[in-house]
Amino acid sequence: MKIFNFLPFLLLASSGAYAQLEEDSTKVEKGRLDSLYIEEVENKQTPDKVLHAEPLYIDLIRDLGARKGEKEWNVGLGLTDNNQFDSYEALIEYEWAPVNRLGLEVELPFTFYYAANGNGGAPQSKLNAIKLAAQYTFLVSEKAKTSLAVGYLHEFEMIEFSRYGKADPFHGNLYSPFFVGAKRWGDNYHTLVYAGPMIEHQFSNGVVHVNWQINSNFHFMIPGTRNFLGVEFNKTIDYLGDFDMTIRPQMRVAVTDDLLIGIVTGIPVSRENERFSAFLRLIYEPPHKKH
């Protein structure tokens, strides 16, 4: 009879052990998926490359540690709610790696403005600039899960559509050298810093202004996938010393092996000129030859 007194305890213990085994099995499976995906990105091709989560709003010029033959198309659509007007963004960009670790990019960003609540004074719509950029990853450490890169972005700033044919279409240059440092912590947590000066040169009066951007990012990549959740902290310090920061929660979802969708919201810390914003990025990576 005593054995029956112990049956409830045996059942409870066995169920607890089973639950623990199931939890351990799930952890092992997630770890296996992470390892397989990281192995696919980092070790199935050469040269070395570390898997990093790339921010969606201030994106990079190709992946860090880019491999020759990689390429990517981006289409972006955005909306910003300003105090006096609404602005709609659209961009198309193409980036590619002609050689290992070097990424190049061409981008055409547009902005269309509409007065809010019947108020006048909205800026004129325009093609903002013709952007050309390059980025070279000078350090790739799989052991430290770290990549470091330097780059340069040049913008040929454009006038408004309404002034085409009446003035020179280019009204200035923006010179923007930058530094990128990224590290993965374990298999799923990613941090990245993108920083540098933005030197604006106006043709009309020859004035040169130096502003600074310091962008920091944190992302969690869903185990065994290319999907992630994260946040960007986009910070600027203008030549007058005014500091602004916009917090941008975001997520990326893989629709197919070659197509991803990124969704970003913008929350300004100080609402001096703008309020909330939203941005959608479509990312298409055509298959490339594996070396």
Return the pLDDT at 119.
61
Helix, strand, coil percentages for the chain (3-state, nearest 5) = 15, 55, 30
Return the pLDDT at 275.
78
Return the pLDDT at 258.
92
What is the tens place of the pLDDT at every residue in 198-231? 999 998 888 999 999 999 999 999 988 899 999 9
Return the pLDDT at 81.
84
Return the pLDDT at 166.
85
Where the chain has pLDDT below 70, the residues are 1-44, 117-120, 271-274, 288-291
Q: Residue 30's closest CA among 239, 165, 187, 213?
A: 187
What is the tens place of the pLDDT at every residue in 150-185? 999 999 999 999 889 888 899 999 999 999 999 999
Cα separation, 172 vs 202, in Å, equals 4
Return the pLDDT at 42.
64
Q: Residue 262's closest CA among 112, 97, 59?
A: 59
Respond yes or no on whether the N-terminal peptide bond of residue 249 is cis (omega within 30° of 0): no
Return the pLDDT at 84.
79
